[in-house]
Amino acid sequence: MIVLGLEGTAHTISCGILDENSIMANVSSMYKPKTGGIHPTQAAAHHVDKVSEVIAKAIEIAGIKPSDIDLVAFSMGPGLGPSLRVTSTAARTLAVTLKRPIIGVNHPLGHIEIGKRLSGAQDPVMLYVSGGNTQVIAHLNGRYRVLGETLDIGIGNMIDKFARYAGIPFPGGPEIEKLAKDGRKLLTLPYSVKGMDTSFSGILTSALEYLKKGEPVEDISFSIQETAFSMLVEVLERALYVSGKDEVLMAGGVALNNRLREMVSEMGREVDATTYMTDKNYCMDNGAMIAQAGLLMYKSGIRMNIEDTSINPRYRIDEVDAPWVIEKNV
Ligand code: ATP
Ligand code: FE2
């Protein structure tokens, strides 16, 4: 069945088209603020501007007619209200016009399911690291459960905010990764792990103090990565132990970071877990991931009426049944 998936929870509006056999298109447009962080209303204005173009282009690349679409899926949350509203309006309009079923998808679920599809992971502990989210997730008893998460800001937000103060525009992650390669000195930053939860705001505060004191940005970037990523590896290892699973899957924009990939792989080798990475083209927010989750939901019998598709800016992955997952250790 051909699924059109629309993503637009935050900075990116994206349309993916896929079926069981192939990903036929994945077209994105990213809002990049000229100054400062993401302004929710500006991000939404960007989505309004680009949404039709992105959908039309995806349909063209997929080589299908709109009437070939069997299901419309869209990201219902979590995310920024104004961005979510644009996405849901476009998806609902499409579904009603085409007279096709609609499924509202939880955004992190999309990250997991596209990662699994592309990497072959079956029942992993997922490290979901993006701008707004930092969660360790595993499927237990019919749903994905959040085993650990950030108690304050997402790791990506922390890196982006530091980058912004250092004069690097959004998204700061890739540039910080480059600068970190030239860092030599490991500066002390607050290492904050509580059980399987993490906290990153202390790292941001200390890193900004180092910046004010004139420490080289390369050393600070290096220290941010080494400290924050070690925290993630520690909780990931604990989550593997607690859940009894033997696969790790990395997803979300920060999972593009090669140093993080290296550290997680090394831990995986040490504890005999197989590490899977989401293909780099699908780590950041994208429509294909929403189409993939929608496909699995629909095929497992989940149905929604238009009235069930209200946006939910605080939608958590553990509110969603995921009956299609077969746990390996059950
Ligand atoms: P969410 O999934 O929470 O809705 P999002 O929309 O912010 O989040 P993504 O598109 O998954 O997320 O990821 C964007 C984030 O990824 C930004 O914070 C960006 O700086 C970060 N990022 C991208 N590339 C890298 C990299 N190489 N190293 C570290 N961080 C990176
Ligand atoms: Fe995301």
Instruction: Render 91-159 in DSSP notation, one character per residue.
Output: HHHHHHHHT--EEEEEHHHHHHHHHHHHH--SSPEEEEE-SS-EEEEEEETTEEEEEEEBSSS-HHHHH
**Percent of the chain residues past pLDDT 70, beyond the cut:** 99
Mean pLDDT, residues 292-299 taken together: 98
Integer-rounded Cα radius of gyration of the chain:
20
Closest ligand, as measured to the CA of 83: 1
- 206 in a structural domain: yes
Is the domain of 149 the same as that of 276?
Answer: yes
Residue 33 above 90 pLDDT?
no
Residue 287 above 90 pLDDT?
yes
Query: Ligand 1: which atom is nearest the Cα of residue 163?
Result: 20
Cα separation, 38 vs 285, whole angstroms: 15
Cα separation, 160 vs 277, whole angstroms: 22
Residue 51 belongs to what domain range?
A: 3-111+283-319
Residue whose CA is closest, atom 20 of ligand 1?
173
Among 76, 226, 263, 284, residue to substitute to test ligand 1 (most atoms within 8 Å of Cβ): 284
Is the domain of 304 the same as that of 267?
Answer: no
Distance 38 CA to ligand 1 centre (A): 12
Mean pLDDT, residues 20-48 taken together: 93
- 226 in a structural domain: yes
- 312 in a structural domain: yes
Structural contact between residues 248 and 125, judged by C-beta atoms closer than 8 angstroms: yes
Residue 100 above 80 pLDDT?
yes
- 328 in a structural domain: no
Query: Ligand 1: which atom is nearest the Cα of residue 132?
Result: 3
- 326 in a structural domain: no
**Percent of the chain residues past pLDDT 90, beyond the cut:** 95
Residues with CB under 6 A from ligand 1: 9-11, 79, 107, 130-133, 154, 156, 159-160, 171-174, 177, 252-254, 256-257, 284-285
Is the domain of 228 the same as that of 104?
Answer: no
Cα separation, 269 vs 276, whole angstroms: 12
| Res. 163 pLDDT band, cuts 50 70 90 | very high
- 136 in a structural domain: yes
pLDDT tens by residue, 183-225? 999 999 999 999 999 999 999 999 999 999 999 999 999 999 9
Mean pLDDT, residues 302-325 taken together: 95
Residue 330 above 60 pLDDT?
no
Residue 36 above 80 pLDDT?
no
- 79 in a structural domain: yes
pLDDT at 233: 98
Is the domain of 95 the same as that of 187?
Answer: no
Q: What is the dihedral of CA 315, 319, 320, 326, to 10 degrees?
A: 130
Mean pLDDT, residues 262-273 taken together: 98
Closest ligand, as measured to the CA of 12: 1
ipTM greater than cut 0.90: yes
Domain count of the fold of the chain: 2
**CATH number (domain holding residue 42):** 3.30.420.40
Among 168, 178, 204, 254, residue to substitute to test ligand 1 (most atoms within 8 Å of Cβ): 254
Distance 2 CA to ligand 1 centre (A): 28
- 330 in a structural domain: no
Average pLDDT of the chain, as a whole number: 96
Distance 186 CA to ligand 1 centre (A): 24
Is the domain of 254 the same as that of 157?
Answer: yes
Is the domain of 226 the same as that of 80?
Answer: no
Is the domain of 106 the same as that of 142?
Answer: no
Is the domain of 253 the same as that of 305?
Answer: no
Is the domain of 268 the same as that of 146?
Answer: yes
Closest ligand, as measured to the CA of 133: 1
pLDDT at 329: 67
pLDDT at 271: 97
Is the domain of 236 the same as that of 138?
Answer: yes
| Res. 245 pLDDT band, cuts 50 70 90 | very high
Is the domain of 101 the same as that of 143?
Answer: no
Is the domain of 173 the same as that of 303?
Answer: no
